Structure 1
Amino acid sequence: MQILSKIRESRTGKGALALAAGLAFATSAASAQVSSYGDKQMGDPAGDHLPAVLTRATIVQKLNTQIPLDGQFIDETGKAVRMGDYFGRRPAILSLVYYNCPMLCSEELNGLVGALEMVKFRPGKDFDIIVASIDPSETPELAAKKKAFYIKRYGHPETANGWHFLTGQQPAINALADATGFGYVRVPGPDGKLTQFAHASSIELVTPDGKLSQYYLGVEYSPKDLRLGLVEASEHRIGSPVDAIMTYCYHYDPTLSRHSLIVARVVQLGCMITMLCLGGYMIVMFRRDRKSEKAMPVPNWKNVNG
């Protein structure tokens, strides 16, 4: 019995050790998604390997730039508004997306809501959230649906007056995108029509007087960074540029006439693959242990003791 016990301990110990090592790897990879305030890492430059169209779909950080407060938009209720209507009292979080985006824009807004859930400040009281569509064909009705979805997800319906989902015409969109440094390019969708946009993902913090205070790139945001950034923006302080590690939304490469680059949540995907591999490894090892135990002859303890 001691022999069989040692065999089991040896094999299961190896499996547990491998699982622990894999979990440590996955945990370290997951923790690398969110950097501490002011401690962002520079990634390997990949601009030379991107499709040509993505050289125009990038983020140029224009800190301390005044956004056009006279820009005319339509809010989610169908009311005509000026961008300046949301400034003068408190800072704002600005996000340029398009509501029919099949992938990245939803990830960006989900990441924002996830971070805000862990920040004590509240929209409508301490800051505003301004989401502006880059697609002039989108409607206030669609904007209203998006607003309702994300307020429900946020879980604080009393903050609805602090969320503003806007649509507009091309001149106002271009002026806001140019001031923000938000590059995007129309590209064909799967049906060949120019219904999608290649773009990168970012949110911007804006001071109460409408100047760009801080950029956060990607689709996940540190609650600590966001909280401190809002404090600095409320005090009219301008942050420093962050490392340009881009997350792109891109579904179709017109030069190749096929779908091409889709990059989002790369670290999460790596963690998921790692865990699946480890799970498969453990299943194989446990099955092998069972087969070995069945094949091993049972000692005749009467003969041994006799």
Structure 2
Amino acid sequence: MATSAALAIAQSEPVRERSGDALPPELEGVDVTEKLGAKVPGQLSFTTDQGRKVNLGDLIGPDRPVLLTFNYSNCPLLCSVQLGGVTQAMAGMRRTLGSTFRVVTVVLDPKETPASARETKLKYLEQLRAARKALELPAGDPAEADAAWTFLVGQDRDIKSLAKSVGFGYEYHPGRKEYLHPAVFMMITPTGRVAQYVYGVHFEPGMVEGAIAAAAMDVTSESTQNFILSCYHYEAPEGLNAFLIMKIAGIVFAILLVLVLGGIHLRSRLSRRPAV
């Protein structure tokens, strides 16, 4: 009996155009169609991780841009890596969450509860506080950070409507009972326009700060990436141990996380060193 393992597949856009039939059929429609300058539908209704009913527009503007992500708590691999990358980028930034920007994470699974979403969010907020403390940076007010990062759960039609408005293509895999989706976040201006697409799972703090600053000024920026990471499962060959596959994947991501944290810490120490 074949076993399965989770992978994040890098899809190069030029390669996809030349050899689209090489992609697994499950990934058809799992893509990003950039819609720079498009307005997000502020009238869509959601429930926050604290159980409050809101319209999307309530979380946008008037003076702060929004870092928008699409994830869900039971995602087997990619969501945790992407949100971990966003968290580590925020940990190394000069500005603190809530001071000049906010984060909105839209939950892809319409069955997820506010309580589950809140548990996931608090985990990343704790990681953020711990990382900034390790870097000897001010962590900011926990209550302000909690209010500035909102997880939204909602009905399937509203989730799909928002995803379509920003060109975020995802699909539900009924056999796996999970969502296949790209790893990308969008910067939304205070006026509700899409300002930039940022791809991947590892982000330089300075790059994210630059994206936030540009979005705050209502400036749209072209993406510099040409590949998309997508969450996908594959069937492993007969006899290949799934535990071994996942163990190797875990080691790889652990090494990447150490490198990211080490790089942030080194840059922080160098920035505080007096000039000679």
Q: TM-score, structure 1 length as denominator?
A: 0.66
Once the two structures are superposed, the pairs formed by residues 42-191 of structure 1 within 5 Å of their partners are: 45-46=15-16, 48=20, 49-88=22-61, 89-155=63-129, 156=139, 157-158=142-143, 159-188=145-174
Q: Aligned pairs, how many?
A: 217
Q: Give secondary structure in 2 for the equivalent of 1:74.
A: strand
The residue identity in structure 2 corresponding to 1:149 is: K
Partner Cα distance (1:81, 1:203) in 2: 21
After superposition, the CA RMSD in angstroms is 2.5
Report the alpha carbon displacement of residue 243 of structure 1 after superposing the two structures with TM: 3.0
Equivalent residue in structure 1 for 2:226, among 234, 239, 244: 244
Q: Does the aligned pair in 2 maintain the 1:58–1:246 contact within 8 Å?
A: yes
Q: Which SS does the other structure have where 1:250 is aligned?
A: strand
Q: Do residues 198 (structure 1) and 180 (structure 2) align?
A: yes
1:226 alignment partner in structure 2: 208
Distance between the aligned counterparts of 2:100 and 2:225, measured in 1? Answer: 28
| Letter aligned with residue 121 of structure 1 | R
Cα 1:236–1:102 shift into 2, 3 Å: same
Do 1:187 and 1:252's aligned partners in 2 also have CA atoms closer than 8 Å?
no
- Residue 240 of structure 1: CA displacement? 1.2
Correspondences of 1:263-278 after superposition (within 5 Å):
269=252
1:175 aligned counterpart, secondary structure: helix
Q: Which runs of 4+ in 1 moved over 6 A?
A: none
User: Structure 1: which amino acid aligns with 2:106?
Assistant: A
Deviation string for 1:122-158 (max 9, x for gaps)? 2222101000111111100101101110110100424
Are the structure 2 counterparts of residues 119 and 178 from structure 1 closer, same or farther at C-alpha, using a change threshold of 3 Å? same
SS of residue matched to 1:99: coil
1:90-129 Cα distance to aligned partner (Å, 9 max, x none) = 1010001121101000101000001111111222221010
1:210 shift after superposition = 0.9
Between 1:242-251 and 1:134-143, the stretch displaced more is 242-251
Query: Relative contact order, CA 8 A, sep 6+: which one is greater?
Result: 2
Greater gyration radius: 1
Q: Secondary structure at the match of 2:95?
A: coil
CA-CA distance at 1:242 after TM superposition: 3.1
Specify whether residues 79 and 271 from structure 1 end up closer, same or farther in structure 2 by C-alpha distance, changes over 3 A only: closer
Q: Runs of 5+ in structure 2 lacking a partner? A: 1-11, 130-138, 236-241, 256-276
Give the secondary-structure state (helix, strand or coil) at the position aligned to 2:88.
Answer: helix
SS in 2 for 1:249: strand
Q: Contact between 2:90 and 2:97, CA under 8 Å: does it hold in 1?
A: no
Secondary structure of the 1:135 match is coil
Counterpart secondary structure, 1:247: strand
Write 1 or 2 for the structure with the bigger share of strand: 2
Q: Percent identity?
A: 30
Query: How far off its partner does 1:44 sit?
Result: 6.3
Q: 1: CA distance between counterparts of 2:191 and 2:86? A: 22
Asked if the contact 1:69–1:83 (Cα under 8 Å) also holds between the matched residues in 2, the reply is yes
Q: Output aligned runs, 1:286-297, within 5 Å.
A: none
Rounded to whole Å, the distance in 2 between the matches of 1:44 and 1:172 is 32
Contact 1:63-1:241 at 8 Å conserved across structures: no
* Aligned position for 2:261: none
